[in-house]
Amino acid sequence: MSEDAPPFQTQDHDSLTIPLLSHQQRSINSTSQVAIVGANVCPIESLDYEYWMAFLVFSLSNLALTLFAAIITAFISPAAAGSGIPEVKAYLNGVDAPGILSIRTLIVKIVGSIAAVSSSLLVGKAGPMVHTGSCIAALFGQGGSRRYGLTWKWLRFFKNDRDRRDLVTCGSAAGIAAAFRAPVGGVLWRSSLLWRAFFTTAVVAIVLRALIDVCLSGKCGLFGKGGLIMFDVYSANVSYHLADVPPVLALGVIGGILGSFYNFLLVKVLKVYNLINEKGIFYKIFIACTISIFTSCLLFGLPWLVSCQSCPSDASEDCPTIGRSGNYKKFQCPSGHYNDLASLIFNTNDDAIRNLFSKNTDTEFQLSTMLIFFVTCFILSIFSYGIVAPAGLFVPVIVTGASYGRFIGMLIGSWGNLSHGLYAVLGAASFLGGSMRMTVSLCVIILELTNNLLLLPLIMVVLLVSKTVADAFNGNVYDLIMKVKGFPYLETHAEPYMRQLTVADVVSGPLQLCHGIEKVGNIVHILKTTMHHGFPVIDESPHSESPVLYGLILRAHLIALLKKKAFLCTPVQLGADAFRHFSSDDFAKKGLGNVDKIEDIELTDEEMDMFLDLHPFTNASPYTVVETMSLAKALILFREVGLRHLLVIPKISSILFSLLLTNHIIQMPDAVTAESTSGGHIDKA
Amino acid sequence: MSEDAPPFQTQDHDSLTIPLLSHQQRSINSTSQVAIVGANVCPIESLDYEYWMAFLVFSLSNLALTLFAAIITAFISPAAAGSGIPEVKAYLNGVDAPGILSIRTLIVKIVGSIAAVSSSLLVGKAGPMVHTGSCIAALFGQGGSRRYGLTWKWLRFFKNDRDRRDLVTCGSAAGIAAAFRAPVGGVLWRSSLLWRAFFTTAVVAIVLRALIDVCLSGKCGLFGKGGLIMFDVYSANVSYHLADVPPVLALGVIGGILGSFYNFLLVKVLKVYNLINEKGIFYKIFIACTISIFTSCLLFGLPWLVSCQSCPSDASEDCPTIGRSGNYKKFQCPSGHYNDLASLIFNTNDDAIRNLFSKNTDTEFQLSTMLIFFVTCFILSIFSYGIVAPAGLFVPVIVTGASYGRFIGMLIGSWGNLSHGLYAVLGAASFLGGSMRMTVSLCVIILELTNNLLLLPLIMVVLLVSKTVADAFNGNVYDLIMKVKGFPYLETHAEPYMRQLTVADVVSGPLQLCHGIEKVGNIVHILKTTMHHGFPVIDESPHSESPVLYGLILRAHLIALLKKKAFLCTPVQLGADAFRHFSSDDFAKKGLGNVDKIEDIELTDEEMDMFLDLHPFTNASPYTVVETMSLAKALILFREVGLRHLLVIPKISSILFSLLLTNHIIQMPDAVTAESTSGGHIDKA
């Protein structure tokens, strides 16, 4: 469980001429430098000193790597900690928290993720890759980073929220596609923008394929071997029958319960971590180091508990091995024997998953080994997630699920017809379904990982059952993490209680109005006293016969106007030359997290008494709803059209009344409490 | 090219013990009864009389089957003609044309589709299966057919448009899943409702798998052999390199051009057919018979043009054959030789596709054969579509594309590394992309058909290129057919011209208002003089101080109120007991195409002078926009929220003004010209 270098399989031309089955059942594993040390390179046996030295080197190198990842994360970019998927999801839902998609985060995420995965922590790389893809997309969208002088003029086409969000959606799709080599799965993880995301992931697939082609010549070291399918262990026909359905259903039910329990524990641990983390940056790093040492002890200590297995006589590779690759790790066993738990632990996660998924390894593992491995993974993945380092959830969940599935498969034993490896695949599916709940995209990702469509009906059943069961307990893991992190999140579907409320019940006060031609001082007052991001603009006499709602103006635009100081001495309406002083750049969306603040604008008393004509800068056709509309109905409008602001108007029952009550800004209960952060947008999921 | 019985492969347990490659390169074909006749059962050679007799039997049986399909379609349910996908798409977009999803259509579609596919016409079965799935879903949704006394009380949970539409979406997904055994492709063909559609297609996958399991015992005749993957000819590793990309790109470009040209011709032919069909039902049947005879002549005549090939010495099956199955058809050839065009023609479409896709058949076909087959398929599929019989487009397009791709592959020959079969797969993808334009779902469907994810990058490239190229010329084939059929269709994306218009420019007049408490006579007058489906309700003094927009009432609800005749003698407002006379059934959505008409309601003069209080039955919070909103923006609202009606209000500039101009009903330019049909709904695609 060390460096997570992609474990490639040979995929040369010879493979066409030899039978597939013998070729693909067992893949060639590659284990990292660290694992070599742990696996005891020097073949002197039963020498306690050797083992203690090995443990020391193992745990110290793990600790050093973890420390490095934790320090760069904590000091340079705390936003890079964790999976990144909740942050990306939050961004796509309108929360534009500072630093989420900055260039610092990008660099820390890449470097830190490599260090964290290499340090034997049970953390994944898929989430960080999604975050990386999103960061790159966001940087492209804002034309580079102005702070570091890295800007490209020709990239600055994406001046508004919607275009940037679409770009980030495609970037995150590219991340999924690259992490799992699953282009279609990448398209599906956000179901919007099908066509553009498809284009993005197609490019990813082609680049991946081209790199694989280049590396086939053997110039890429560890990366030199491998194909497009990560766990290609089921090319053969799989047969299953009606009698196999009950155990599969049971797998789904238990997976759903385990998955929701996993989510529950993960959130509890995260909350505890949050409490400790609040005490200071060194507490954060302390937790990371503690978890690293704890992990090293577990990984090095547990293999001593299991009994040695004698090597099979027909083993297709060396048994036992002490090198960097090989599925039969010797560890402390006498010659002619191997330690099956060590074989799982001192391998990359990907190789461990491949071994668990393989179909002809039914006799390789013991029941007790499987149970120990499952419990270890379950615990480690929960405690490893919250530390201050980039840490994905996908791979840990797949490892845990695969070991759980294989354990169940071994329990069922000869009663069923399915191989233990198939149970592992289904176990991984059920645990993923129970924890992440994304049925369609997960289904496609699992298919793209294992490359066997014959498994499709079983995988669909398992995902359906586990998602349904888990939904009865709690939400999906990313939404729960978002809640813990305090990101507001607008639900896709209206909750039942929303049908009982009207929009008038949830409008946020106090109502602040601008007039069509407003005194600068009033605008400054409004901006300073409220944090709203949009304000209704009202026309009153003498500019119109009676008060009329003219439209909605954004805070960002008001600030841009104040910054330009193109004020009027008298309250007169501007003509067509209103934009004379402005270029489109003035109103362009700023880089993420960089917002001009009203406090930074200095105005003289004289200027405060001058006027601004807001008409040319106002959105004259904002979306409006009547105050009696049910909250559920307004929520649909908010989500589907991707609104940030919704004006609530009263019934036009009489003039006098409408004068006073004309407009409120509505803020959905959980939606735009992100008023403290800069402008974002609601995604239509 | 005859009966389209699913051509199954053996998938027994032995397959695990023999090398995959030799097992799967060539599948076992099965040809239908009709083809036996055509292929000359009696092995007497060069006997002209025999061939004439064979041709007679062949063409007469084809004619009989076509005639049967045409007659039941023309006389029982004309709505069952064609693919059905445009109709389903139209329904999901709010066009509730009579008979589209009725029980008559269902039966005619099933029986007629079997007859049409069996009659050697080049028509597909995927479209009819989608239509069938949608019909079944719609019948479930309305609780059976009241007309035929087949109703189930416990099924009548779907009383409103939205629920029924969702059910039909799932039904159509089930149809795609069943037609291609592609459950994930089925989910994706409409990207809404991911989770529910996933559930539906999962059930389809399980049922399919269970039926395959049952049939493995050999009790199902022709259906007894086969697996979940239809064209499983690429289980082996496929290798391709950078040098293979240019021909693949060329394939995409040509496929895009061909696909859009195909769409263009198809629409022209459809328009000509429409002109002839208008003359009467016998003209329709006459066209069908003509096409059938034309098809028979082509199919039986063309094989005479190609030269006989000598049988390969290492053929894995009998060569030549004259039976119902076999890839080397003898036709007119001397012994030891086979006719390669006859081998493609006198097979099922599925077997022809499988042969074209197969990788080790590079020497089996001649270049001239491929060209003839491609041109024949191109022409036949265009002329076969418009006849008055159920006829899908998918299979013809795949066959045409596969033969085009293989032809290109043979032209490129030894310059490329890819096998001719792979070119056929990519050719089918490019032609599908150029004609149907559904990138993501097509990609998944092709993957699920061929079961090789290694092809994914190539398929994605081809689809992207061909769709992009074809989009430059015209729209996708289903939208074009919808336009020819006169179904209104609301575009997903706003056209550039819409940005120049405001909603005020497109509101439909004349404006008809109801008052909160309205005279029955006025309501009848309004309903009789306009075809609008919704009317704004205004409150005026004395019920309110000044005129106020109260809400929107639907035509269907007004008619339900008139039918109940629970009128008031004086204009007073009703209290909470307004619903006393009504059950929820009165306002439930009727079966498709069954709408109560205002003309059917008879009212006395006395009743005409009575009053109705509309308040309890009015939607008091309709969606409204200001008249200055750009049409593009309103279109987004219309599509995303799935609206049927949108109220356009003027700026509330003064009371007097707002009194007069309060509301118009807006109808989007192309959207709801289906006012003549009953209520439908806009789908958010």
Whole-number Å distance between alpha carbons of B645 and B623: 8
CATH of residue B32:
1.10.3080.10
Residues of B in contact with A652 (CB under 8 A): 548-549, 652, 658
Are A505 and A453 in the same domain?
no
Least Cα separation, residue B115 to chain A (angstroms): 31
Is B7 within a domain?
no
Stronger pLDDT, A302 or B234, i.e. the higher one: A302
Are A679 and A645 contacting, i.e. CB atoms less than 8 angstroms apart? Answer: no
Residues of A in contact with B443 (CB under 8 A): 184, 198
**The domain boundary residue, chosen from A433, A458, A485:** A485
CATH of residue B534:
3.10.580.10
* Structural domain count, chain B: 2
Is B506 within a domain?
yes
Bridging pattern class, strands B144-145 and A664-666: unpaired
Is B1 within a domain?
no
Main-chain phi, psi angles of B207, to 5 degrees: -65, -45
CB contact under 8 A, B440 and A239: no
Q: CB under 8 Å, gap of 24 or more: what pairs does A605-609 form? A: A607/A520, A607/A565, A607/A567, A608/A519, A608/A520, A608/A521, A608/A524, A609/A519, A609/A520, A609/A521
**The domain boundary residue, chosen from B424, B450, B485:** B485
> CA geometry: angle at A626 spanning A620 and A630, to 5°?
130
CB contact under 8 A, A628 and B620: yes
Mean pLDDT over B39-47 rounds to 47
Which three-class secondary structure string do you get for B137-157? HHHHHCCEECCCCEECHHHCC
Q: What global pTM score does this model have?
A: 0.77
CB-CB: which of B439, B633, B640 is closest to A684? Answer: B640
CB contact under 8 A, A198 and B443: yes
Whole-number Å distance between alpha carbons of B295 and B122: 8
Is B379 within a domain?
yes
Residue A223: is it exposed, middle or buried by C-beta count within 10 angstroms (0-12/13-18/19+)? middle
pLDDT tens digit sequence for B133-154: 999 988 887 766 666 666 555 5
Residue B542: cis peptide before it, omega within 30 degrees of 0 = yes
Mean pLDDT over B600-605 rounds to 81
Whole-number Å distance between alpha carbons of A60 and A684: 47
Q: Scanning every residue of chain B, which has its alpha carbon at the shortest distance from the alpha carbon of A632?
A: B621
**B355 Cβ partners below 8 Å, 6+ apart?**
B29, B327, B343, B344, B347, B361, B364
Band of pLDDT at residue A288, cut at 50, 70 and 90: very high
Are A226 and A215 contacting, i.e. CB atoms less than 8 angstroms apart? Answer: yes
Q: Within 13 Å and on the Cβ side, how many CA atoms surround A484?
A: 23
Stronger pLDDT, B356 or B25, i.e. the higher one: B356
**The domain boundary residue, chosen from B485, B514, B532:** B485
Stronger pLDDT, A383 or B599, i.e. the higher one: A383
Is B450 within a domain?
yes
Which of A169-183, A247-261, B39-53, B589-603 ranks highest by mean pLDDT?
A247-261
Closest CA to B306 of B356, B349, B344: B344
Percent pLDDT > 70 in chain A is 74
pLDDT at A663 (0 to 100): 27
Q: Scanning every residue of chain A, which has its alpha carbon at the shortest distance from the alpha carbon of B629?
A: A621
Stronger pLDDT, A290 or B606, i.e. the higher one: A290
Band of pLDDT at residue A605, cut at 50, 70 and 90: confident
User: Is residue B107 pLDDT above 90, yes or no?
Assistant: yes
Are A391 and A507 in the same domain?
no
User: Residue A608: which domain range?
Assistant: 497-676
Are B447 and B503 in the same domain?
no
Are A213 and A337 in the same domain?
yes
Are B354 and B435 in the same domain?
yes
Mean pLDDT over B611-639 rounds to 80
| Residue B486 CA, distance from chain mean position | 16
- Token pair 């334009």 is at which residue? B437
User: Is residue A167 pLDDT above 80, yes or no?
Assistant: yes
User: Is residue A550 pLDDT above 70, yes or no?
Assistant: yes
Percent pLDDT > 70 in chain B is 74
Are B447 and B506 in the same domain?
no
User: Is residue B682 pLDDT above 50, yes or no?
Assistant: no
Band of pLDDT at residue B99, cut at 50, 70 and 90: confident
Whole-number Å distance between alpha carbons of B440 and A200: 12
pLDDT tens digit sequence for A578-603: 666 676 666 665 555 556 777 778 88
The most distant pair of C-alpha atoms in chain B lies apart, rounded to whole Å, by 98
Are B395 and B510 in the same domain?
no
Mean pLDDT over A418-431 rounds to 90
CB-CB: which of A208, A640, A654 is closest to B684? Answer: A640
CB-CB: which of A20, A198, A684 is closest to B439? Answer: A198
pLDDT tens digit sequence for A201-257: 888 887 877 777 777 766 666 554 556 666 666 555 667 777 788 889 999 999 999
Are B504 and B576 in the same domain?
yes
Q: Picking from A664-668, B319-323, B327-331, which range would have the lowest pLDDT averaged per residue? A: A664-668
User: Is residue A342 pLDDT above 60, yes or no?
Assistant: yes
Are A37 and A108 in the same domain?
yes
pLDDT at A556 (0 to 100): 81
pLDDT at A236 (0 to 100): 56
Are B237 and B349 in the same domain?
yes
Are B309 and B433 in the same domain?
yes
Are A164 and A297 in the same domain?
yes
CA distances from residue A67 to A35, A288, A293, A579, B659 in whole angstroms, order as listed: 19, 7, 11, 54, 72
Residues of A in contact with B464 (CB under 8 A): 198-199, 202
CB-CB: which of B198, B463, B545 is closest to A440? Answer: B198
Whole-number Å distance between alpha carbons of A619 and A623: 10
Are B168 and B101 contacting, i.e. CB atoms less than 8 angstroms apart? Answer: yes
Is A220 within a domain?
yes
Is A316 within a domain?
yes
Residues of B in contact with A444 (CB under 8 A): 184, 444
Q: How many CB pairs under 8 A join A and B?
A: 200
pLDDT at B429 (0 to 100): 93
CB contact under 8 A, B630 and A620: no
CB-CB: which of A184, A241, A651 is closest to B548? Answer: A651
Outline where DSSP puts E strands in A40-149.
144-145
Which sign, positive or negative, has the C-alpha torsion B354, B356, B360, B361?
positive
Outline where DSSP puts E strands in A211-318.
309-310
pLDDT at B19 (0 to 100): 38
Is B492 within a domain?
no
Mean pLDDT over B344-370 rounds to 83
What interface predicted TM-score (ipTM) does this complex get?
0.73
